[in-house]
């Protein structure tokens, strides 16, 4: 087995192992919160007046509620007029929930719900947030009224976090599973790694592999973010990925500058060397200095390749990649290379 094949195989094994580890973490997280998932599926158990009184005592003493998920049956339900409003882009307002007063025995329980609740509600029980308490029971409220209201909040949206967790877990499993399945098929011999397949078109794979190894040891010209550019090749060796291109096949190279933003706030500019080959594309990101080094060497090594970016080159490349490559090959022959 050649160095190229061994490297591709190691990266494929790494992706399969990563999927197994990620799956184990997902299972562990779900197992850790097994009590919540039982409530998520079956619903909370009935809560008694004694349980509410115990929860109220815990809330008054800043302690966690012993039974956080309960189903409560009460009497009359009235809206407090307090709502939870979500604002988008500063001007779009959306009411996501309302706060309701439910009579339970001789006391009142505040319920958060997206719609007017019935006489039986189920949800997560916690201490009433101070801000909410100040809105429902403002300063100056009769102490007798305050005493009648449980210092608790029953949130009927207790399943929301569960659905979010399920969706996130499915997305993670699908993404990592896709790469793991593809890697497994390569390991089983049903698929060929793109780098191996590409290298086989260059001639004898063993000869090419030996040349790549030799270049990596004796002819390195630039390194950046997992990429190594040698006298003849651009080699990507990141933790779970591997790729390989021959500089002889370079047809276009230019620098990309991408402005990075976090929550619409500019946090800097990222740079990358975009390298288009006749048999694939590579993007080597890094500092501006590193990117300039890569592009400078690429220009020296493959002077027939188009250099820099403009709309005409982009249109020509999009119109026909094969035609673009043929033009580069024509220039190469004219240079006697």
Give the pLDDT score at 141.
Answer: 84
Q: Tell me which H or E stretch contains 316.
A: helix 311-319
**Token duo for residue 119:** 């006489």
Q: Is residue 265 part of a domain?
A: yes
The C-alpha atoms of residue 263 and residue 259 are separated, in whole angstroms, by 13
- Give the end of a domain, one of 107, 141, 156: 156
Q: How confident is the model at residue 210 (pLDDT cuts 50, 70, 90)?
A: very high
Q: Do the Cβ atoms of 49 and 43 come closer than 8 Å?
A: no
Q: Describe the crossing of helices 321-334 and 311-319 by its angle, rounded to 10 degrees.
A: 110
Q: Is residue 49 part of a domain?
A: no
Domain span at residue 202? Answer: 192-334
Q: Tell me, yes or no, whether 129 and 87 share the same domain.
A: yes
* Residue range 294-300: mean pLDDT, rounded: 93
3-state secondary structure of 128: coil
End-to-end CA distance of the chain: 32
Give the pLDDT score at 89.
Answer: 63
Q: Tell me, yes or no, whether 182 and 247 share the same domain.
A: no
Q: Is residue 151 part of a domain?
A: yes
Q: Tell me, yes or no, whether 149 and 230 share the same domain.
A: no
Alpha helices in 221-320 (DSSP H): 288-301, 311-319
Q: Is residue 169 part of a domain?
A: yes
Q: How confident is the model at residue 278 (pLDDT cuts 50, 70, 90)?
A: very high
Please identify which residue in the block is written with the tokens 């094969």. 322
**Token duo for residue 4:** 């190229």
Q: Is residue 177 part of a domain?
A: yes
Tell whether the model's pLDDT for residue 66 goes beyond 90: no
Q: Is residue 216 part of a domain?
A: yes
Q: Tell me, yes or no, whether 38 and 177 share the same domain.
A: yes
The C-alpha atoms of residue 133 and residue 56 are separated, in whole angstroms, by 14
Tell whether the model's pLDDT for residue 90 goes beyond 70: no
Please give the share of the chain, as a percent, with pLDDT higher than 70: 96
DSSP bridge pairs for 126: 153
CATH number, domain at 292?
2.30.29.30
- Give the end of a domain, one of 138, 156, 174: 156
Angle at 238 between CA 232 and CA 240, to 5 degrees: 130
Q: Which residues of 25-44 are buried (b: 16+ CB within 10 A; e: fewer)?
A: ebeeeeeeeeebeebbeeeb
* DSSP-assigned letter for residue 44: P
Q: Tens digit of pLDDT for each residue in 4-54?
A: 999 999 999 999 999 999 999 999 999 999 999 999 999 999 988 888 888
Q: Tell me, yes or no, whether 210 and 104 share the same domain.
A: no
Task: At 292, give phi and psi (nearest 5°).
Answer: -65, -35
Q: Greatest CA separation found in the chain?
A: 98
Q: Which of 305, 289, 193 is nearest to 246 (CA)?
A: 305
Domain count, the chain: 3
Angle at 27 between CA 25 and CA 29, to 5 degrees: 70
Q: Do the Cβ atoms of 176 and 21 come closer than 8 Å?
A: no
Tell whether the model's pLDDT for residue 327 goes beyond 60: yes
Q: Tens digit of pLDDT for each residue in 129-174?
A: 989 989 888 888 888 888 899 999 999 999 999 999 999 999 999 9
Q: Which residues of 156-186 are buried (b: 16+ CB within 10 A; e: fewer)?
A: bebbeeeeebeeebeeeeeebeebbebbbeb
Q: Tell me, yes or no, whether 309 and 198 share the same domain.
A: yes
Q: Tell me, yes or no, whether 184 and 198 share the same domain.
A: no
Q: Tell me, yes or no, whether 118 and 239 share the same domain.
A: no
Q: Do the Cβ atoms of 147 and 176 come closer than 8 Å?
A: no
Tell whether the model's pLDDT for residue 213 goes beyond 90: yes
Q: Is residue 264 part of a domain?
A: yes
Task: At 171, give phi and psi (nearest 5°).
Answer: -65, -45
* Residue range 186-197: mean pLDDT, rounded: 94
DSSP per-residue letters across 11-24: HHHHHHHHHHHHHH
* Residue range 221-244: mean pLDDT, rounded: 94
Q: Do the Cβ atoms of 29 and 162 come closer than 8 Å?
A: no
More confident residue, 337 or 285: 285
Q: Tell me, yes or no, whether 211 and 187 share the same domain.
A: no
Q: Tens digit of pLDDT for each residue in 216-227?
A: 999 999 999 999
Q: What is the 3-state secondary structure (H, E, C) of 200-239?
A: HCCCCHHHHHHHHHHHHHHCEEEEECCEEEECCEEEEECC
* Residue range 75-102: mean pLDDT, rounded: 82
Tell whether the model's pLDDT for residue 85 goes beyond 80: yes
> Mean pLDDT across the chain, nearest whole number?
91
Q: Tell me, yes or no, whether 215 and 296 share the same domain.
A: yes
Q: Tell me, yes or no, whether 22 and 63 share the same domain.
A: no
Q: Tell me, yes or no, whether 216 and 110 share the same domain.
A: no
* Residue range 206-234: mean pLDDT, rounded: 95
Q: Do the Cβ atoms of 5 and 31 come closer than 8 Å?
A: no
For residue 314, CA distances in Å to 133, 181, 210, 250, 310 come to 61, 35, 35, 15, 6
Q: How confident is the model at residue 60 (pLDDT cuts 50, 70, 90)?
A: confident
Q: How confident is the model at residue 91 (pLDDT cuts 50, 70, 90)?
A: low
Q: Is residue 128 part of a domain?
A: yes
- Give the end of a domain, one of 191, 209, 234: 191
Beta strands 149-155 and 120-127 are antiparallel
pTM of the model: 0.78
């Amino acid at each position: 087995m050649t160095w190229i094949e061994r490297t591709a195989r190691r990266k494929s094994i790494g992706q399969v192992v990563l999927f197994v580890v990620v799956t184990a973490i997902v299972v562990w997280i779900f197992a850790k919160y097994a009590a919540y998932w039982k409530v998520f599926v079956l619903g909370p158990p009935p809560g008694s007046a004694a349980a509410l009184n115990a929860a109220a005592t815990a809330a008054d003493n800043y302690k966690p509620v012993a039974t956080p998920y309960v189903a409560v049956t009460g009497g009359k339900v009235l809206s407090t007029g307090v709502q939870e409003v979500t604002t988008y882009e500063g001007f779009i307002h959306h009411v996501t929930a309302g706060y309701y007063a439910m009579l339970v025995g001789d006391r009142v329980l505040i319920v958060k719900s997206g719609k007017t609740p019935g006489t039986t509600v189920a949800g997560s029980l916690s201490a009433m947030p101070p801000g909410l308490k100040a809105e429902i029971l403002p300063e100056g409220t009769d102490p007798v009224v305050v005493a009648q209201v449980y210092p608790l909040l029953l949130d009927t949206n207790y399943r929301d976090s569960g659905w979010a967790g399920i969706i996130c877990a499915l997305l993670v499993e699908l993404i990592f599973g896709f790469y793991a399945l593809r890697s497994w098929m390569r390991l089983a011999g049903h698929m060929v790694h793109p780098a191996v397949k590409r290298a086989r078109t260059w001639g004898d794979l063993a000869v090419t592999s030996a040349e790549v190894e030799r270049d990596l040891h004796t002819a390195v010209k630039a390194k950046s973010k997992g990429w190594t550019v040698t006298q003849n090749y651009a080699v990507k060796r990141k933790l779970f990925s591997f790729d390989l291109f021959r500089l002889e096949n370079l047809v276009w190279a230019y620098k990309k500058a991408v402005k990075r933003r976090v929550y619409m706030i500019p946090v800097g500019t990222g740079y990358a060397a975009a390298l288009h080959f006749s048999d694939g594309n590579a993007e080597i990101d890094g500092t501006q200095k590193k990117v300039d080094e890569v592009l400078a060497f690429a220009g020296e090594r493959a002077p027939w390749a188009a250099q820099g970016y403009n709309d005409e080159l982009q249109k020509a490349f999009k119109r026909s990649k094969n035609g673009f490559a043929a033009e580069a090959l024509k220039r190469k022959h004219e240079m006697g290379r």
